[in-house]
Structure 1
């Protein structure tokens, strides 16, 4: 006899199906639940609860493929984060800043967006935002991320973030790798300016060193003419 076990997943994740042959249902149900917890944990960053790199990549590809020119890929890098870790609050303050940043990004992206922590103080977002609303929404994001964060003891830590974004209509592709590379170049082009930068095709051709973009061409910061 064949049994199929369906394990309910958290929002945004597919149900886990396990089919067994001639095996007691109860034992495999327990096994399926344990396996699903391990898979979920592997896809989530333990500190922030955000998707890890692999989980984010899978969901972001779905968003760019589904929404095409109305998709937007955003990369975020916290400015002066090392100073937070080295400050009076130490790594506990740094962890708090990372967790709050994750919460803010999740709220901004909404329930249908994909938000991931790529590592360290680097985050990525894939979301549906049409061309007419991009500048407004990105400006909202930079203001949100610049709000001070309260850490243990009630002290406020000043934070800021560099934001770069890329869209399929501007680059002529829905390939996530290309979009993220261009968003990364745009982000570094606007580093420490307090403004988000929308990538154009020139950002996809900027040389990369150790995965990081160097230099820029044709950069246009939001609110500033190129």
Structure 2
């Protein structure tokens, strides 16, 4: 009995140490999947959750891109730009809610996948666009800009995966930005064939811009 008690007592510190190590690993994994500036999922964490959501009915894929972000950084500084990104991320996460997922793809571009059980996506994204245009900091009302949104209903393109749907939402977002329309939905059939080439060039131009805090 004494031997068993001794062995058990010796094992307790090992078990406690292993539990602490597992908890530390879980926290590191959680941190690795979160953007340090905004707290949103990074691309990897977003992709995992988004792929699960796309298996459900009425899933929507959204791309959001901050307008004139470089000018904000140039005029007010990178700290102001970070404040603006954080405000956008917080507002996007609020609108997405616990039933969806929002992520920062890099720089000033965000993505989300949400469920739309009541068919009110147009109203939701119109309201989101208005909220994202509010000043990032009430103490500095000049620190504001608009955010262009592009979205697609997954059911409109059966068989397409997350990457393809993000591409459609991305082109819709760029069309909204070019037209200063605020929000655009990716439609059926041949989607924005006239802007596809310009979007490729737009991506190339953006690679030359370094944004502080990019994931």
Structure with more relative contact order (C-alpha pairs < 8 Å, separation 6 or more)? 2
Separation (CA, whole Å) in 2 of partners of 1:118 and 1:48:
11
Separation (CA, whole Å) in 2 of partners of 1:41 and 1:112:
21
Partner deviation per Cα, 1:35-89 (whole Å, 9 max, x = no partner): 1111111000000000000000110111111x23x000000000000111111x3
TM-score of the superposed pair, with normalisation by structure 1? 0.76
Structure-2 residue corresponding to 1:203: 191
Structure-1 residue corresponding to 2:150: 164
Structure-1 residue corresponding to 2:16: 26
Return 5+ residue gaps in structure 2 as ranges: 1-12, 205-215
Partner deviation per Cα, 1:71-129 (whole Å, 9 max, x = no partner): 00000000000111111x31110000000001100111111110000000000010001
**Alignment RMSD, CA only?**
2.5
How many residues are aligned here? 189
Give the structure with the larger helix fraction.
Answer: 2
Separation (CA, whole Å) in 1 of partners of 2:147 and 2:91:
12
Q: Is the 8 A contact 2:135 2:141 kept in 1?
A: no
Shift of 1:131: 6.9
Separation (CA, whole Å) in 1 of partners of 2:202 and 2:118:
28
Return 5+ residue gaps in structure 1 as ranges: 1-22, 214-226
Shift of 1:209: 2.8
Structure-1 residue corresponding to 2:49: 59
Separation (CA, whole Å) in 1 of partners of 2:134 and 2:20:
44
Shift of 1:34: 1.4
Task: Pick the structure with greater CA Rg.
Answer: 2
Separation (CA, whole Å) in 1 of partners of 2:160 and 2:123:
22
Give the structure with the larger strand fraction.
Answer: 1
